[in-house]
Structure 1
C-alpha cells in the first residue's frame, strides 16, 4: 500500500513553523505564561463594538461569509478614497502573502527581502519553489536602497519591505518609501507591509496611488484593532493586480464574524485613538524599564519595543530563556546582529509590572551563564 504522491518540491522541503505559538510553548513547559508579551498582539483587545458585532454574527455562522466582503470593502474604499476594485480581503496579511506568492512566483523565481525580516514571506516563497535573496539591515533599519539594488541584480519578481518594521520596530518616512517605489525595477512588484502603520508617526506612509502597478500595500486588523485571532486583513493595489487574486484566493477564507467585527471596528475612531495612546505610553514604559536595566530601547513605531541586551545573540537567548522560566513570554529577532535584542509588546500596567520585576533576575541569570 502506498501513500499520497507529494510533489518533488514538497518532498524536498523541511517541515517549517515560522513562529512557534505561545500555546505550544506552554504545553511544552507544562504551565501557562503570566504575561504574553511576545507575539505583537494588542493586549488592549478589540473594540467593544467589534466584539458585539462578532457575537451577533455568531448566531449566523451557519451561513458562509460574503465571498466578496462587499460591505467591508465598500467602507475601506471610502476610507482610502479608492475603488472597491483596488481592495482584496484575506485571512490576515499572511494569507494575502501566500496568494500573492502563488500568483507571482514559479520555481526558481527570485524574491528579495531583508535578512532577519518577517519570515512568513520566506515560508510561502519556499513552498512555491522560489529563491529568497536577502540584504542585511543597516543601522537596525531595512535598507531600501540595497533591497532595490538586489531586486534589479537578480530580476526579482517580488521585493518586500515592512514599514514600520518587524522585528526591530524602526521605520522610514514617506519620502524614502516613495523613492523606493519610484525605483522598483520593471517587472518587479514591491510588497509594502504596513501592519503597524496605525502606531507610526504622521508622514510614515506615502499617499495611496490606486493606479500604481509597482506596489501592493498590505494592512491588517490584527494589530491596532486587536483582532489577531479573527484573521482578517486586506491588500490595496492597482485594479489589474488585485483582480488576479480572484484566480487563486480562498473565496470563503474570511469568516462572516470576522467581516462583521472588522466593519464595526472601522467606526471605532475614538477607541482607536485611545488605544494608540495606550500603546505609546506602553512603549515609553518599556523604554524606561530598559534604561533602568542598562539596556538600550530601539525607538519604535510599532506596538512593541526591541531592546538591545548589549552583548551577542547567545546572551540575548539566555535572557529570553530566563524570562520564560519566570513565566514571561517575549521573543527576539532571529538573525545577527538583531539577535542581540529581545522584543517586548506594549501592554497594560499589570503585564508591564510583571516584566519589570522579572527582567533584572533574567539578566542576572544570563550573566551567570555567559
Structure 2
C-alpha cells in the first residue's frame, strides 16, 4: 500500500497546490529578487511602532501557549465594536476562519455560492471539504448581488461568500445594499461577509455592527492583516450571533494563536492614531498608482481597498506579460485569474520607494510587451 492510498478518496482527487504563488517562490523559481513587494495586498507601511514594541516584549513569553479562549483579545474587540465578547471568534487570519467555516458546514456535494473570479482561498477550502462551487459572474467589475441571491435560492445553498470591498477588483457596494442582500437570504443560508478591507473603504460602505449583529445567518469577517500591517502575524476574527461564534469552539485549534500575534493585535487596537495615519497614506498611494497607470495609457479602476486594479485594455495574455515583465525589474504584482477580470493587473499600495520602482519599470515593460504582441 502506498502512502498516498491511505488518504481519503477526496484527498486523493485534490491537487497539491496553494491558492497563490508567493513572491518567495517566484524569487526561487525565476532567480529574481523582489525589490518592490506590491502584489500581495500587505501593508508595506508596516505596523505601528507601539505594536512592534509590544511584540518585542511578548517575545519573552513565547515559551507559553496563548490563552485558548482568546479572552483578552475578544474583550478588546467587543469594547471596540460595542458588542459582547461572546459575539466574536478569533482565528489565524480570515483564511483560517474560512477553513473552519467550511469544516462546520460543507459535506461532499454541498452547494456553495460565490463569485466567479472572487477570493480563491475560499474556493480552496470549499474544494478541500468536497463542496460544489456554484459561481456567479461579476457585472461591471462588481460582485452581482442579485445573481448571488438567485443562485442561493436555485441551489438551496447553505453557504454564500461575498466580499465587500472586493478582492480582486477593489469594487464595493454601499451598506444599505449589503444589508438588503443579507436580509433577503433564506434563513438556512449562512452569509460569509468578508470585510477584510473595511478600514480602507469610503464612508457608507460598511454596515453598522448593529445592523446585522442579531441576524443568525451572517458572519462578518475582519482582519489585522491589511490596514493594521500584521499580515505575517495571522490574526483575524468573526463577528456573529452567540451560536455562530461559539460554533468555532467545536472544531478550532484552541492553541492555534501565537502569543506575540495576540499582543500585536491588542496594541494595534489601542493605537488608532497610527491607523488613521496609515489609512491616509493608503489613500495617497492609491492615487499615486492611478496616476502612474493613466500616464502609461492604462485605466485604473476605483478602489476601496489597499490596492488598485488596473485595466490593461485587452486580455489575460497581455496582463500576464505585464506582470511577468515587471517582475524582471523586481516589481512584484498580481492579476485576477478568471476572464474577463484577468484583463487587469492588481497593484498593492506601498511606500514611495516602491512606487518609484513601479513608475520607472512600467513604461519599459509596456514597450517590450507591445513589441512582442
Judge same fold: TM > 0.5, yes or no: yes
Mapped partners of 1:181, 1:210: distance in 2: 11
Mapped partners of 1:220, 1:3: distance in 2: 37
Tell me what 1:299 maps to.
Answer: 302
Tell me what 2:231 maps to.
Answer: 228
Mapped partners of 1:2, 1:39: distance in 2: 37
Tell me what 1:348 maps to.
Answer: 351
Q: Does 1:184 align with 2:185?
A: yes
CA contact 1:39–1:331 (8 Å) conserved in 2? yes
Q: Does 1:35 align with 2:29?
A: no
What's the offset of the Cα at 1:210? 2.3
Tell me what 1:3 maps to.
Answer: 3
**Deviations for 1:233-258, whole angstroms, at most 9, x for unmatched residues?**
00000111111110100111111011
Q: Secondary structure at the match of 1:217?
A: strand
Tell me what 1:58 maps to.
Answer: 59
Which of 357, 361, 370 in structure 2 is aligned with 1:358? Answer: 361
Q: Secondary structure at the match of 1:283?
A: helix
CA contact 2:160–2:189 (8 Å) conserved in 1? yes
What's the offset of the Cα at 1:74? 0.3
What's the offset of the Cα at 1:145? 1.0
What's the offset of the Cα at 1:16? 2.2
CA contact 1:111–1:156 (8 Å) conserved in 2? yes
Mapped partners of 2:182, 2:47: distance in 1: 33
Mapped partners of 2:226, 2:343: distance in 1: 25
Q: TM-score, normalising length from structure 2?
A: 0.98
What's the offset of the Cα at 1:217? 0.2
What's the offset of the Cα at 1:186? 2.8
What's the offset of the Cα at 1:2? 4.4
- List runs of 5+ in structure 2 lacking aligned partners: none
The 5-angstrom pairing of residues 200-211 of structure 1 reads 200-208=201-209, 209-211=212-214
Which of 321, 324, 329 in structure 1 is aligned with 2:324? Answer: 321
Q: Does 1:260 align with 2:269?
A: no
Q: Does 1:367 align with 2:370?
A: yes
Q: Does 1:280 align with 2:276?
A: no
CA contact 1:111–1:159 (8 Å) conserved in 2? yes
CA contact 1:148–1:185 (8 Å) conserved in 2? no
CA contact 2:32–2:327 (8 Å) conserved in 1? no
Mapped partners of 1:269, 1:303: distance in 2: 18
Tell me what 2:338 maps to.
Answer: 335
Q: Secondary structure at the match of 1:159?
A: strand
What's the offset of the Cα at 1:31? 3.1
What's the offset of the Cα at 1:319? 0.9
Mapped partners of 1:332, 1:338: distance in 2: 8
Q: Secondary structure at the match of 1:59?
A: helix
Tell me what 1:241 maps to.
Answer: 244
Tell me what 2:195 maps to.
Answer: 194
Mapped partners of 2:206, 2:331: distance in 1: 33
Tell me what 1:145 maps to.
Answer: 146
Q: TM-score, normalising length from structure 1?
A: 0.99
What's the offset of the Cα at 1:58? 0.6
CA contact 1:125–1:132 (8 Å) conserved in 2? yes
Mapped partners of 1:210, 1:85: distance in 2: 12
- List runs of 5+ in structure 1 lacking aligned partners: none
Q: Secondary structure at the match of 1:112?
A: strand
Q: Does 1:91 align with 2:79?
A: no
Q: Secondary structure at the match of 1:17?
A: coil
Q: Secondary structure at the match of 2:193?
A: strand
Mapped partners of 1:233, 1:48: distance in 2: 21
What's the offset of the Cα at 1:189? 0.4
Mapped partners of 1:104, 1:82: distance in 2: 25
CA contact 1:318–1:369 (8 Å) conserved in 2? no
**Deviations for 1:269-289, whole angstroms, at most 9, x for unmatched residues?**
110010000000000011111
Mapped partners of 1:362, 1:153: distance in 2: 46
Moved over 3 A (4+): none
Mapped partners of 1:186, 1:194: distance in 2: 21
